[in-house]
Chain A
Amino acid sequence: DAGVIQSPRHEVTEMGQEVTLRCKPISGHNSLFWYRQTMMRGLELLIYFNNNVPIDDSGMPEDRFSAKMPNASFSTLKIQPSEPRDSAVYFCASSSRSWKRDNQPQHFGDGTRLSIL
């Protein structure tokens, strides 16, 4: 089975540029999570969606960050304008959730390593 697919794997760009990270969740999963990993702050949840609807975006650092999930098989995380402090590894994860909260674990993609110069 294909896992969570993220693209690009690496992104290097200059500050001020727009950055778009992409994620394809596992087919059939209805919850999607975006995380950021840095040495200083560890793994932070940025936002998560359930059935394509954003449920909690309290982790989004500021208005420069936005995330969308136009359909069940695709999500984007956009940073505009980007800044050097946004450099990190960004992970997408997906899981299957129901009203019963059957607590299926989250499956992670391999991440996008983002460097803002």
Chain B
Amino acid sequence: AQSVTQPDIHITVSEGASLELRCNYSYGATPYLFWYVQSPGQGLQLLLKYFSGDTLVQGIKGFEAEFKRSQSSFNLRKPSVHWSDAAEYFCAVESNTDKLIFGTGTRLQVFP
């Protein structure tokens, strides 16, 4: 069965520091992978997606993610975090029946 694991429930970083949020997936075929961000009281906003091709994908707000098939990972990165990046981040994989399977999320806290 398809699944997504986000090992870090809560991460705290200082503003300006680099960030990496981990995501591991379980999927038998070539996965379609997504990162979404959710600010308090808001819906989920798509940061970036991977369907095929270049394994390093660029997204909005300065985020990028790298697909590594050998590690079944799709980690999200940002070189310098801003206070406005504080939010909850969800990794998701799309199944072959169009269903999105989400990880449990990582809550990011940013200190000034």
Contact = CB atoms under 8 A, between A and B. Distances in A.
Instruction: State yes or no: do A and B come from one complex.
Output: yes
B44 interface: yes
Interface stretch (B68-76, B78-86, B100-108): B100-108
Contacts, number: 43
A11 interface: no
Interface in B14-72: 32, 34, 36, 41-46, 49, 51
A42 B43 contact: no
A42 B104 contact: yes
Nearest to B104: A42
Contacts of B100: 33, 45, 106
Interface residues of B, number: 21
B98 A105 contact: no
Nearest to B6: A42
A110 B38 CA distance: 10
Interface string A78-117: 0000000000000101000100010101111111000000
B90 interface: yes
Given A91-B43, A91-B44, A103-B94, A42 B102 contact: yes
List the 4 shortest-distance A-B pairs measured between CB atoms, nearest first. Answer: A108-B43, A108-B44, A43-B102, A110-B43
Interface of B: 32, 34, 36, 41-46, 49, 51, 90, 94, 97-100, 102-105
21 contacts: A42-B103, A43-B90, A45-B99, A45-B100, A55-B97, A55-B98, A91-B43, A93-B44, A97-B98, A101-B98, A103-B32, A103-B51, A103-B94, A105-B46, A106-B100, A107-B46, A108-B44, A108-B45, A109-B43, A110-B41, A111-B43
